[in-house]
Chains A and B, each alone.
Chain A
Amino acid sequence: MQLTNRSEIVVNKKMTFMERLYLPAILSGLMITVKHLFKKRATIKYPEETRPVAAVYRGWHVLKRDEQGRENCTACGLCAVACPAEAITMTAAERKKGEEHLYREEKYAEVYEINMLRCIFCGLCEEACPKEAIFLTDRMVPSNYDRGGFIFGKDKLVEGTSPDTRIDISKRTNAHRKP
């Protein structure tokens, strides 16, 4: 029975004298390796160059703010429930008087942490969120020297208020829509 057309019949033939000399084989090997000296390098020098990623790439999360700069998240905990890796933990707090410009709803996440070592970047938190607060972005999670550095709090997750610190998620949200 032949499963592929690439199979070869094994023969136990004696090597000829030329083959036993090995030198022709070594020379042809040398020729093959030296050709690689002039080939294109496959390396991407990471911090300076980045590999182009797909529009729907799921990387480092962002907690969005609305147009007036208020945090969307209402600490409902649905994302944490949806998360299969149990990477999300949060503590909810009540919005005080005078904080209306900071948080959109009466409840907000005082602490919101994602453990990037647990996260499998499945995007289910994004699906679960009723407030359009959490999205995954095309940014890579940077490396770190200790595990504690991979627990991303609100300082790393919430986007800034000024227009240039906003994180663009349009590629992902558009990719979800049917044309």
Chain B
Amino acid sequence: MEFIIVKFVLVVIVFLVSLGVAAYSTYAERKIAAFLQDRVGPDRAGPFGLLQPIADGVKMFMKEEIIPTNADKGLFILGPSIMMMTATMTGVVIPWGNSLFINGTEYPVQITDVNIGILYIFGVVSIGVYGIMIGGWASNNKYSLMGAIRASSQMISYELAMGMSIIALVMTTGTLSIREIVEQQQGFHWNVFAQPLGFLLFIVCAFAECNRTPFDLPECETELVGGYHTEYSSMKLGFYLFAEYINMFISAAIISSLYFGGYNFPFIDQLGLSHNMLTLLGTLIFFGKIFFFIFFFMWIRWTIPRFRYDQLMHLGWRIMIPLAIFNIFLTAGIVLWKNGQLF
């Protein structure tokens, strides 16, 4: 019983935190965009425009809701729901912190530590493609459908390279559980030093998976009106856009836990703090890393122009995937050599 309550509280917290971070990412995006372009950005709603996400949310809810007459109503509603659901689902396997001792019982700061955490994330993320595909299909608009096909083929192509870059990581860590991977990176043994190429491939694929610039081809005002969400209005469109920001948050969390030590930080043992304090500090540092990567996503967005679609496919299939395979062989060679099984 107590177990369920603790897990329930954690689920609610993680859910609310993802929503909050996503909401304020939209604000941060606009602010950072403005700052990188020497502008001021939103500053009218509240001090420094801090209430802007709330105003945006209210606006989204108040807008007129339009479902096209010839659209498949059920699927039309299902599309954004799937997007939103899969986006919020991935947060459960991420270790947000070490563990807390409350009244002598140990509670890990993670909703569930399945030993196939990475596979779970990949599984859920690939369901997200359905959200886009169904949304585009149900709109009964050929531009939306084309946008959806583009988006899903992009996501599928990059998921391959992403999976392969993870395989190399799994070969060195020997586990699929994210918590274990994080714990192996105690102190400063971050995986990014062991797997620089894998990290590079992973982060590029993460950009493509989140449909962030330079891979934001699903949205293409010039060619396909608006891409897969052309026919969507009000909060359904809001869900699509919002899910993107949650995805960004989750991928930042995954990148930092797989490659940047998660809640670990250098000199963790020299501080001489109690276990609970260290856990809290670790969680804070984890969020610092996440925010850095969210900033990085935005930084890239305002630096690099969008790819052309054939360039995108070329990069995905002819550069990323061979590189990922090469990385697997390289890692395998190094692992064998370290174990003395080579030569």
Establish whether residues B35 and A29, one from each chain, have CB atoms under 8 Å apart when the complex forms. Answer: no
Q: Is A45 an interface residue when CB atoms closer than 8 A count as contact? A: yes
Q: Is A68 an interface residue when CB atoms closer than 8 A count as contact? A: no
CB-defined contacts of B9 to chain A, threshold 8 Å: none
Known contacts A41-B40, A43-B40, A45-B40, A30 near B35 by CB under 8 Å: no
Q: Is A42 an interface residue when CB atoms closer than 8 A count as contact? A: yes
Closest chain-A Cβ to B315's Cβ sits at a distance in Å of: 10
CB-defined contacts of B32 to chain A, threshold 8 Å: 37
Establish whether residues A41 and B303, one from each chain, have CB atoms under 8 Å apart when the complex forms. Answer: no
Establish whether residues A33 and B36, one from each chain, have CB atoms under 8 Å apart when the complex forms. Answer: yes
CB-defined contacts of A29 to chain B, threshold 8 Å: 303-304
Q: Is B64 an interface residue when CB atoms closer than 8 A count as contact? A: no
Closest chain-A Cβ to B201's Cβ sits at a distance in Å of: 12
CB-defined contacts of A23 to chain B, threshold 8 Å: 200
Give chain B interface residues in 295-310, CB to chain A under 8 Å. 299-300, 302-304
Establish whether residues B35 and A26, one from each chain, have CB atoms under 8 Å apart when the complex forms. Answer: no
Interface of A is mostly: helix
Known contacts A26-B304, A29-B304, A41 near B299 by CB under 8 Å: no
Give chain A interface residues in 37-61, CB to chain B under 8 Å. 37, 39-43, 45
CB-defined contacts of B37 to chain A, threshold 8 Å: 36
Q: Which interface residue of A26, A33, A43 has the most chain B CB atoms within 10 A? A: A33
Closest chain-B Cβ to A165's Cβ sits at a distance in Å of: 30
* Bound Cα distance from A30 to B35, whole angstroms: 14
Q: Is A34 an interface residue when CB atoms closer than 8 A count as contact? A: yes
* Bound Cα distance from A33 to B304, whole angstroms: 10
Establish whether residues B40 and A30, one from each chain, have CB atoms under 8 Å apart when the complex forms. Answer: no
* Bound Cα distance from A45 to B302, whole angstroms: 23
Specify which of B36, B40, B303 is in contact with A26 (CB 8 Å cutoff). B303
Chain B, residue nearest A40 (CB)? B38
Establish whether residues B38 and A36, one from each chain, have CB atoms under 8 Å apart when the complex forms. Answer: yes
Establish whether residues A42 and B38, one from each chain, have CB atoms under 8 Å apart when the complex forms. Answer: yes
Establish whether residues B39 and A41, one from each chain, have CB atoms under 8 Å apart when the complex forms. Answer: yes
Q: How many residues of A contact B (CB 8 A)?
A: 15
Specify which of B38, B43, B299, B304 is in contact with A34 (CB 8 Å cutoff). B299
CB-defined contacts of A45 to chain B, threshold 8 Å: 40, 43
Interface 1/0 per residue, A9-31 and B, CB below 8 Å: 00000000000000100100110
Specify which of B39, B40, B43, B299 is in contact with A33 (CB 8 Å cutoff). B299
Interface 1/0 per residue, B156-187 and A, CB below 8 Å: 00000000000000000000000000000000
* Bound Cα distance from A23 to B196, whole angstroms: 13
Known contacts A26-B304, A29-B303, A37 near B35 by CB under 8 Å: yes
Establish whether residues A33 and B38, one from each chain, have CB atoms under 8 Å apart when the complex forms. Answer: no
Q: Which interface residue of A23, A34, A40 has the most chain B CB atoms within 10 A? A: A34
Closest chain-B Cβ to A29's Cβ sits at a distance in Å of: 5
Establish whether residues A30 and B38, one from each chain, have CB atoms under 8 Å apart when the complex forms. Answer: no
CB-defined contacts of A37 to chain B, threshold 8 Å: 32, 35-36
Give chain B interface residues in 69-115, CB to chain A under 8 Å. none
Chain A, residue nearest B37 (CB)? A36
* Bound Cα distance from A40 to B38, whole angstroms: 7
Interface 1/0 per residue, A110-149 and B, CB below 8 Å: 0000000000000000000000000000000000000000
Establish whether residues A30 and B36, one from each chain, have CB atoms under 8 Å apart when the complex forms. Answer: no
CB-defined contacts of B39 to chain A, threshold 8 Å: 41-43
Establish whether residues A36 and B300, one from each chain, have CB atoms under 8 Å apart when the complex forms. Answer: no
Known A37-B36, A41-B38; further 10 A-B contacts with Cβ < 8 A:
A26-B303, A29-B303, A30-B299, A32-B303, A33-B303, A34-B299, A36-B36, A36-B37, A43-B39, A45-B40
Residues of chain A whose beta carbon lies under 8 Å from any beta carbon of chain B: 23, 26, 29-30, 32-34, 36-37, 39-43, 45
- Closest 7 CB pairs between A and B? A43-B40, A33-B303, A29-B303, A42-B38, A36-B36, A37-B35, A33-B36
